[in-house]
């Protein structure tokens, strides 16, 4: 990794999974992505009072919630009494089959079925109209709004992981570091929180779930982000073309984001 040493990216939490800083990486012009400014996590329904105080202390001005309406209704985020950040969310559903909601055939979930299910998620995401809309709004908010931001979905690993990876690419971070940041999800010290929130629902749907299937569904693999990248490049020739043509990140916006988020 090209990331320079600085405090571990994970923040200590009681009820928020995978809360971390995704800044600090070296850019291609010798600068680096600002730390203490870009955060990502899973949903905040079970956030403790200490968690809410922590999030409040980060001075986050914008939250981009990649979950759809049904997820936000089922898992409403807890907020600090003085919470004042703007929340950007989609008016509808952003995914038809999130891993934590079951889906697919109601048969025993094997490791390979779990892997294939996640590959399917990443294959569909580049052309999902809701996620195209939300990624576009994510980049516009970073371009137009001051202060820190936090992106999250349910588990903070798939929709959130892709969003973080796209921004790091825009900022000139090497692909190897983008993959390394993506893979940090597997090192999150809060896996028990995600399992508590997800596993009962998944078991109610599938029945028996192989341990490796749980890892494939609740964690990430390099081939997941690789699949997203490959789909984008196949259809658009490059990630930059996709960003410009589909997500509204043209050269002018890219320059502004780099000026704002690199140090």
The CATH number of the domain holding residue 190 is: 3.90.190.10
Beta bridge partners of 88: 64
CA atoms within 13 A on the CB side of 113: 16
Let me know if residue 7 belongs to a domain: no
Let me know if residue 140 belongs to a domain: yes
Beta bridge partners of 262: 33
Please, what is the end-to-end C-alpha distance for the chain in angstroms?
18
In the chain, the percentage of residues whose pLDDT exceeds 70 is 93
pLDDT value, residue 97:
66
pLDDT value, residue 139:
98
Question: Any idea which residues carry the catalytic annotation?
Answer: 153
Mean pLDDT of 96-109: 65
| Each residue's pLDDT tens digit, 205-222 | 888 899 999 999 999 999
Let me know if residue 15 belongs to a domain: no
In the chain, the percentage of residues whose pLDDT exceeds 90 is 89
pLDDT surpasses 90 at 108 = no
pLDDT value, residue 62:
98
pLDDT value, residue 137:
98
pLDDT value, residue 8:
72
Let me know if residue 92 belongs to a domain: yes
pTM: 0.94
Q: Are 131 and 163 in contact (CB under 8 A)?
A: no
Let me know if residue 129 belongs to a domain: yes
Let me know if residue 6 belongs to a domain: no
Let me know if residue 9 belongs to a domain: no
pLDDT value, residue 207:
86
pLDDT value, residue 105:
60
pLDDT surpasses 80 at 47 = yes
pLDDT surpasses 80 at 60 = yes
Confidence of residue 55 (pLDDT cuts 50, 70, 90): very high
Q: How many domains are contained in the chain?
A: 1
Indicate the angle between helix axes 222-236 and 111-124, nearest 10 degrees: 30
Range of the domain at 217: 20-261
Give the pairing of strands 38-41 and 20-21.
antiparallel
For 175, the token pair is 């692909």
Mean pLDDT of 10-27: 97
Let me know if residue 11 belongs to a domain: no
| Average predicted confidence (pLDDT) for the chain | 94
pLDDT surpasses 90 at 155 = yes
Confidence of residue 1 (pLDDT cuts 50, 70, 90): very low
């Amino acid at each position: 990794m090209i990331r320079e040493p600085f405090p571990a990216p994970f923040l200590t939490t009681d009820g928020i999974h995978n809360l971390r800083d995704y800044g600090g990486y070296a850019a291609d012009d010798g600068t680096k992505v600002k730390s203490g400014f870009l955060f990502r996590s899973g949903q905040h329904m079970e956030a403790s009072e200490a968690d809410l105080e922590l999030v409040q202390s980060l001075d986050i001005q914008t939250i981009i919630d990649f979950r759809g309406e049904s997820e936000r209704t089922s898992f409403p985020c807890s907020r600090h009494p003085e919470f004042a950040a703007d929340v950007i969310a989609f008016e509808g559903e952003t995914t038809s089959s999130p891993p934590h909601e079951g889906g697919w055939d109601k048969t025993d979930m094997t490791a390979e079925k779990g892997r294939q299910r996640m590959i399917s998620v990443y294959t569909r995401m580049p052309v999902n109209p809701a996620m195209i809309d939300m990624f576009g709004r994510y980049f516009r908010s970073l371009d137009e709004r001051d202060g820190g931001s936090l992106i999250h979905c349910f588990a903070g690993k798939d929709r959130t992981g892709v969003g973080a990876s796209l921004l790091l690419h825009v900022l000139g971070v090497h692909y190897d570091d983008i993959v390394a940041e993506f893979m940090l999800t597997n090192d999150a010290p809060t896996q028990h929180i995600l399992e508590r929130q997800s596993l009962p629902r998944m078991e109610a749907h599938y029945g028996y779930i192989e341990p490796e299937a749980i890892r494939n569904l609740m964690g990430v693999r390099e081939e997941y982000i690789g699949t997203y990248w490959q789909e984008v490049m196949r259809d658009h020739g490059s990630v930059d073309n996709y960003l410009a043509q589909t997500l509204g990140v043209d050269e002018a916006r890219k320059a502004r984001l780099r000026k704002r988020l690199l140090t």
